[in-house]
Amino acid sequence: MAKVSIYLNFQGNTEEAFNFYKSVFKTEFVIPIMRMKDVPAQPGMPPMSEKDANSVMHVSLPIVGGTLIMGTDMLESMGHKLVVGNNTTINLEPDTREETDRLFNALSEGGSEIAPMRDEFWGYWGCCLDRFGVRWMFNFSNQS
């Protein structure tokens, strides 16, 4: 079943923020926090500092009404800089790869900061900033 969630970016304090949200909503993480060091190494990927390796790669927490908030630490060492506008993303998880492509193509038309749809280790992924300045992320799970 298709779903929508909200993705939040932080500059190094994702774990602190999500532990706070966990206490507010009185819920538990969907899966344990995934760290940057848990990501399979990619060819040519430079070694990470201990700080970066222990940063949050992904966390997911139910809040209300079936809505999930998810988050990650943006790494300065990778050129990521948190600014208002790139700290919140609407994440769409359509039911089919075709619907994922349709939504991506429509929302990215006239947009910017486009990461084209591509296969990643967790599934089919892409991201764009639409022409109105809203950031959209698209995920179609390999498990679907």
Look up tokens 């809203």; give the residue. Answer: 134
Bridge partners of residue 107, in order along the sequence: none
Q: Predicted confidence band at 131 (pLDDT cuts at 50, 70, 90)? A: confident
How many CB atoms are located within 10 Å of the residue 52 CB? 17
Q: State the sign of the Cα–Cα–Cα–Cα dihedral 13, 18, 86, 103.
A: positive
The secondary structure of 27-64 as a DSSP string is ---SSPPEEGGGSPPPTTPPPPPHHHHTSEEEEEEE-S
Look up tokens 């038309």; give the residue. Answer: 109
Instruction: Give the mean pLDDT of the chain.
Output: 90
Query: Which tens digits make up the pLDDT trace of 6-53?
Result: 999 988 889 999 999 999 899 999 999 999 999 888 888 888 899 999
pLDDT, average across residues 72-98: 85
Is residue 86 predicted with pLDDT exceeding 80?
Answer: no
Is residue 1 predicted with pLDDT exceeding 90?
Answer: no
Q: Predicted confidence band at 84 (pLDDT cuts at 50, 70, 90)? A: low
State residue 139's pLDDT score. Answer: 95
CB 92 within 8 A of CB 4: yes
Query: Which tens digits make up the pLDDT trace of 95-112?
Result: 999 999 999 999 999 988
Q: Edge-to-edge strand order for the sheet containing 88-93?
A: 34-35, 56-62, 68-73, 3-10, 88-93, 135-141, 123-129, 112-119
> Which token pair is 24?
């507010």
Residue type, 44: G
- Looking at the chain, the whole-number percentage of residues with pLDDT higher than 70 is 97
Structural domains in the chain, sorted by start:
3-38+48-141 (3.10.180.10)
